[in-house]
Amino acid sequence: MIYVGENLPSPKGWGMDRCLINPSLRVARTVAADDVASLNYWPEYGGLSPARRRAYIDWLAGGRVDPQADIGLVFLFFYGLERRLFFDRQVADAAMLTGEVERLLDIYAAHVSFKGYATTFLAAAALLSGKAAPTVQPSAVVNWSEELPLATRLHLGVVLSEGKPLGADDALLWVLGSPETRLRTPGQRCFEETRSLFARHFVSRHPKGLAVRTPQRRVSVSYRAASDGFTVSIPGPHENLPDISGVNAPLSGLRDMLEASQTELDAYSRLLGRRPEARGTFEAAMLLPPGLREEAMAEAGEAVRRSVKSLLGEPSMASVAPRPLLDALGVPLERGTNRLPVSVATQVLQRLDALGFGMEPDRRYGGEAISMTSDVVLFEAPDGAAVDPDRPAFNLAKAAMEVAALAASADGDVSDLEFQALLREARAMPDLNPAETTRLEAFVWRLRERTKSGGALKKAADLPPEARQAIARAAISAVLADGQASRAEVAFLEKLHKTLGLPPEAVHSALHQGASGDFQTPRPAGPAQSGGAASQSGIALDAERMARIRQETTQVASLLSSIFTEEAELVTEAAPAALEPAGATAKRFEGLDDAHGTLLGAVAAAGFMPMTAFEAETKRLRLFPEGAIETINDWAFERFEEPILENDDDMVAVAEHLRSELPTV
C-alpha cells in the first residue's frame, strides 16, 4: 500500500506526489537519538532528512503500529491511500484501504487532526463504493475546516429524510461540526461528561426532539485530500439527501447548551487537570454537577459512606471528633490546625450532604465555626437535613430549645433524663418538617456540650407573647424531666419569667401543675395579647401568628445562640500583616502588584480573615474588597486554573489545597 519509484506526478500537475518513496534518495543507516527535527505541515518524502526517511521506512517495516511514531509519518502514508482510492479511482481496493484506515484510526485516534481526516475518508469511501456511510458518534474532534464534516452531513441528512426530529446526539454532532464551535478545556478533557450534560439540557428544552424544517438544498460531496493535492467530486444516491449545512438558526441555542455544560464541569475539569488519576474517585464525583453526581457517587461514594457510618455505630446520631470524620471523608487538613477553615468546612459539609449525613454545627444553618478540639454531632439524614435557616417556625424552635437547655443546666449539669426530655421537646415542636426536626435534635445534642451562660436572657424581652410562652413552657418541661426541680433551677426559672415579662410567682404554681400533669403556660404580664394554646407535647402556633413574628423570632434565635458560643471559638480579627519591602510581594507572587500580593500574603498567612479585617486591610492598601478578590482570583486562574480566595458573608479564606502551592516568603 505504498508508491515506490522515481516518477509519480502530483495530482496538481507539477512536482512529485508527496507520498512517493524515491529509492534514489539518501537514507540514514540509523535514526539519531538526538534528531528532533519536526516535519512540515504537509510532509513529503522527498523533503525529509535522511534520518527522517529512515524513521519512516522503519515505521513501515515494523507494521505501522508504533503509537509513538510522529503523526506526520502516519499522514505521509495516508496520502498514498487517498490517492489510490479517490484520485486513481481503484474502487476494487476500497475494502482493503478502508480496513487499513480503520486500523490506523484505532492506533492514532488521539491525534484529533488525523481522526478528522480518517473519519472523512471512511465516509467518502463508503459513498464511492455504494455503501451506507459508517455510523458516526459525537467526539471531541475539532473541526478545523470551513464546512460541516461529511460524516455529520450524511448522518443528519438521513435523519431529516426520514422526517424525524433530531435527538440529543444528533444535535451535538451538528453543533460540534459547526466551524464556529470550539470546545473549551472542560469539553475536551471531560467529553463524555459534557455529552451527558448536553443531553440533559437538550431533553429538558426539547422533550420531543428538535424539529428542523427539511432544507431544499441537497448533499453534494467533494473529497478534499489531506495532502492538499486534489479535490474530487463523488456522485451517488446521497445526492438525494437534504443538506443541513445551510441551516443556522437552531445552532445558537445548541451552543448555549454546550457552553452551559462545559461551565458546569469547570471545577471537575480543573481537578483532573491537576490529577488525572482522580477520575472515578469520590473527590471527583463530588465536583460533578447534580445531574451526573448521583450516578458517579453510587460506586465511588459507597466505601466512604461505610467509613462515615462506622463513626456512628448503631445510633443514627452521635458526637464524634472532627479528625476521624475528616479522615473518613478523605479531606486533608494540616496537623496542629485548631479551627476548621471555611474552605475545608465547605468540603466536609458538601460531602456529608451527598452521602446522606448531616452535622452540627453547620454554618449554612446558623452554626458557629468548628473547633478541632470539640466534638461535632454527626447524624444520618437525606441530603444532610437541609433546612431554611430563616424560616420563623424553625428559628422559634431553636430559640426555645436553647433556653430550655439553659434552664436544664442551671444546676451545673444536664442529666440524662433532662437531656432525653429536651430531645422529646425537639421532636414535638410544631410546624416543622422532618429535616427541620432532625436538625433540631442534632442542635440539642450540640447544646448539651456547650458552655452555659445567662448573659443574653435580657434579650428575650423583645420576643412576642407567643414566643415567650413557648420558651417558658419548654424551660419548665426540661426542668421537670427528672421529676424534681433543684433550688438553682427554680431560681433560674424565676429569673427567666421575670425577664420574659411573665409573673415570677407563677413558677411554683407551674412546677406543681407540671408535676401533676396539669401544666399551663403562664400569660404574659401587662397588656400583651394572649398567646396560642400550650399542651404537654408542644406549642401550637398558627401560620398567621408565625408570619407576624417572623422578624422577631429570627433576631431572637440569633441572639440566644450567642449564649452557647464558647469563648474559645469566637473569631477574632487578625492583625494586619506587616508590609513586605517594596517589590518583594511582586517577586513572591509573580503577576500580582505589591498591594494585591501583600493582601494575598496576609490572608494566606492566617488561613482565613474575618470580612471586617479583610475590608480594613484592603482600605489600608487602597484597594476595593470585591475588586481585590477578583484580581487575585484572576491571577490564580492563570496559575492554578481555579480561584484561590473563597469568601462568604463574614470571612475570606485561602483555598486549603492551594495554600501549600504558594511561594513562601
Instruction: Over range 181-198, report the average pLDDT.
Output: 92
- For residue 33, what pLDDT band results from cuts at 50, 70 and 90? low
Q: 63 burial class (0-12, 13-18, 19+ CB within 10 angstroms)? A: exposed
What is the predicted pLDDT for the residue at 441? 92
Residue 9 β-bridge partners: 16
92 has pLDDT over 90: yes
Q: DSSP assignment of 145-172, as one string? A: SSS--HHHHHHHHHHHHTTPPB-HHHHH
The predicted pLDDT at position 660 comes to 74
The C-alpha cell of 451 is what? 458552655
Q: What is the pLDDT of residues 351-362, one digit of tens each?
A: 899 889 999 999
The residue with greater pLDDT, 460 or 175, is 175
Rg (CA), the chain: 36
Average pLDDT over residues 380-399: 87
pLDDT tens profile 518-577: 444 444 444 333 333 333 333 333 344 334 333 333 333 443 444 344 333 333 333 344
Q: Is the peptide bond before 361 cis (omega within 30 degrees of 0)?
A: yes
The grid cell for 553 is 423570632
What is the spatial distance between Cα 496 and Cα 473, in angstroms, rounded to a whole number?
11
Q: Which residue has the higher pLDDT, 416 or 100?
A: 100
Cell of 40: 512540515
Selected residue with higher pLDDT from 102 and 346: 102
Tell whether domain 584-659 is in CATH 1.10.3470.
no
Q: According to CATH, where is 3.90.1150 located in the chain?
A: 584-659
- List pLDDT tens digits, range 580-602: 444 555 567 888 888 888 999 88
How confident is the model at residue 169, as a pLDDT?
95
On whether the CB atoms of residues 432 and 393 are closer than 8 A, the answer is: yes
Kindly state the percentage of the chain with pLDDT values over 90: 31
Mean pLDDT over the full length of the chain: 80
Neighbours of 503 (CB within 10 A): 15
In this predicted structure, the answer to whether residue 328 has a pLDDT above a threshold of 80 is yes
Rounded Cα distance between 425 and 397, Å, is: 9
- Asked if 331 and 340 touch (Cβ cutoff 8 Å), the reply is no
Residue pair 239/218 in contact by the 8 Å Cβ criterion: yes
> Which H or E element spans position 394?
helix 392-408
Q: What is the pLDDT of residue 106?
A: 94
Cα–Cα distance for residue pair 437/320, rounded to 1 Å: 20
- Please give the residue that has the higher pLDDT: either 68 or 291: 68
**pLDDT of residue 469 exceeding 80:** no
pLDDT score of 531: 37
Query: Cα separations (Å) of 570 from 562, 564, 567?
Result: 10, 11, 5
Name the helix (H) or strand (E) containing 637: helix 625-640
The answer to whether the CB of 124 falls within 8 A of the CB of 94 is: no
| Distance (Å, whole) CA 14 – CA 631 | 57
Residue 321 is which amino acid?
A: A
Per residue in 96-152, pLDDT (tens digit) is 999 999 999 999 988 888 988 998 899 899 988 888 777 788 988 777 677 888 889
**Per-residue model confidence (pLDDT) at position 228:** 83
The angle at the Cα of 613, spanning 612 to 615, to the nearest 5 degrees, equals 65
* Residue whose entry in the numeric block shows the C-alpha cell 440533559: 200
pLDDT band at residue 483 under the 50/70/90 scheme: low
Q: What local confidence, expressed as pLDDT, does residue 550 receive?
A: 39
Which residue type, as a one-letter code, is found at position 348?
A: V
Name the pLDDT band for 497 (thresholds 50, 70, 90). Answer: confident
Query: Is pLDDT larger for residue 399 or for residue 181?
Result: 181
- Spell out the SS3 assignment of 458-516: HHHHHCCHHHHHHHHHHHHHHHHHHCCCCHHHHHHHHHHHHHHCCCCCHHHHHHHHHHC
pLDDT of residue 540: 36
Q: What is the pLDDT of residue 541?
A: 36
CA 308 vs. chain centroid, Å, equals 21
DSSP annotation of 278 reads: G
Counts for the chain of helices (H) and strands (E), in that order:
28, 10
Range among 87-101, 464-478, 640-654 rated most confident = 87-101
Q: Model pTM?
A: 0.56
**pLDDT for the residue numbered 649:** 60
Tell me the average pLDDT across 420-429: 86
Ranked by mean pLDDT, which of 163-172, 179-188, 223-232, 574-583 comes out on top? 163-172
Query: Could you please report the per-residue DSSP string of 312-374?
Result: H-SSSEEEE-HHHHHHHHT----TT--B--HHHHHHHHHHHHHHTEEEES-GGGT--PPBTTS
Question: Per-residue pLDDT tens for 649-660?
Answer: 678 888 877 877
The one-character DSSP state at 6 is: S
The tens digit of pLDDT for each residue in 199-211 reads 999 999 999 999 9
Q: Would you place residue 387 in the very low, low, confident or very high pLDDT band (cuts 50, 70, 90)? A: very high
The pLDDT assigned to 527 comes to: 39
Cβ proximity of 119 and 141 under 8 Å:
yes
Query: What is the band of 283 on the pLDDT scale with cuts at 50, 70, 90?
Result: confident
C-alpha 593: how far from its chain's center? 31
HEC per residue, 228-260: CCCEEECCCHHHHCECHHHCCCCHHHHHHHHHH
Q: Does residue 63 have a pLDDT over 70?
A: yes
Q: Count of CB atoms within 10 A of residue 415's CB?
A: 13
